Structure 1
Amino acid sequence: MIKHIWFDFSDTLASITTRIPRRIYVLTDPNISEVLREINKIIPISIFSNIKLDNILPSLDVDPKLFAHILSAGTVGASKPALKGFYKMIELSALSPEEILYIGDILEKDIIPAKKVGLKTASVFENLPDADYSFKDFRDILKFVKEQR
């Protein structure tokens, strides 16, 4: 049974719309904030991203307090696909790896390393090979969590 969900940030929760003169992010699904609040009522949620998210989440109207942990490559000292951050997710969750679901969008940076440390994996919006689950949108993730209970 899944007891904690970790999300990748870039292109999973939000996408970059422009890089010049600065990065501007938009949510990948207009229902994300609402769905994250609902999931968080059932099980803890966290984020692991290669970028620092301190100012980005509030600008997207996503409350950082929703997340049990917000982990960045800078905090861990290694960017994905290095396994160090994935092991840190297990440590912070205080669960066995198979009780943690990691949702990402890139096979090489998200799914493969998460599976190497024993996590359950999922993709959203597109079906990635080797992912344990695939969700067409964030409401499907909420439905999955409710079915697990």
Structure 2
Amino acid sequence: MFNLNKVKGILFDYGGTIDSNGMHWAEVIWMAYEALKVPVSKDIFRDAYIHGERTLGKNPIVKPHHTFLDMLRLKSDLQIRWLEDNGHLPPKRNTMELPNLLADWCYGYAREAIDNARPILEQLAERYPLVLVSNFYGNIESVLKDFGLDHLFGSIVESAVVGIRKPNPEIFQLGVDRLGFPADEIVVVGDSYDKDIIPATQIGCQTIWLKNIGWSAYKGDETADIILSDFTEIKQVFAL
């Protein structure tokens, strides 16, 4: 049960929480495909998305200096190349412009979401120490700086740096240790039930689930101390 009076620190997820209002990034990118009328089915797109994520996970393609736009262009390029190589895009779509167009669309989506989230984070940072706990590629500091969020987090626990990935609860324990409070005095805010809420609950943290469209359909029995449908609802939770 959520107890605001006990909260002394907050652990935030980044991707999918702060930068897309709870929407899984595969869904955001798919919206870009639809907006740009890329002639592939959603199932085929998801295969391309998985290929891109696995490639980035296995190879040090993303560098520490890369911004989010840089990263989106890398992701889009991997996806489009896979689609072309596997015969899912007709020759007329074989263009160097498409990955950049997709990346630009997604970057605009992220910037709007972050512009809405930033003032709330700033208010929270005045009251509580904030720590970021994220599965990311080693460039999260460059991403935060680009979006004007780098001053808000006292510490960052990034999977590529610490060598632990969600849903391993140990990555959240690192965040708890950096805040220096008992787990039940810390609330974790995240968009992924499996990767954020379950492991945070396992180590005793309070949880706020920003529930939107995920990678998979929900079973219906998922729960958290608080469930939100929009990032701005955090203002009501913390009486901002």
- TM-score of the pair, normalised by structure 2: 0.55
Q: Per-residue CA shift, 1:41-93, capped at 9, x if unaligned?
A: 1111121001030211122232x121111110123211101122111111111
| Larger strand share, 1 or 2 | 1
Match of 1:134 among 227, 230, 238: 227
**In structure 1, what is the equivalent of residue 145 of structure 2?**
58
1:89-128 matched pairs, under 5 angstroms: 89-126=175-212
Moved over 6 A (4+): none
Residue 104 of structure 1 and its aligned partner are, at CA, apart by 0.9
CA contact (8 A) 2:14 2:132 kept: yes
Q: Which runs of 5+ in 2 are unaligned?
A: 1-5, 30-71, 78-98
Counterpart in the other structure of 1:145: 238
Determine what percentage of the aligned residue pairs are the same residue: 26
Following superposition, the deviation at residue 122 of structure 1 comes to 0.9
Q: Tell me the distance in 1 between the aligned counterparts of 2:212 and 2:154.
A: 26
Matched, 1:88 2:174: yes
Indicate the structure (1 or 2) with the bigger Cα radius of gyration.
2
Higher share in helix: 2
After TM superposition, give the deviation of residue 29 of structure 1 in Å: 5.1
- The equivalent position to 1:35 in structure 2, one of 102, 120, 126, is 120
Partner of 1:13: 18
| Superposed CA RMSD | 2.3
* Offset of residue 110 of structure 1: 0.8
* AA in 2 matched with 1:20: S
The structure showing larger relative contact order (alpha-carbon pairs under 8 Å, at least 6 residues apart) is 2
| Contact 1:42–1:145 (8 Å) recurs in 2 | no
Distance 1:143 1:39 in 2: 12
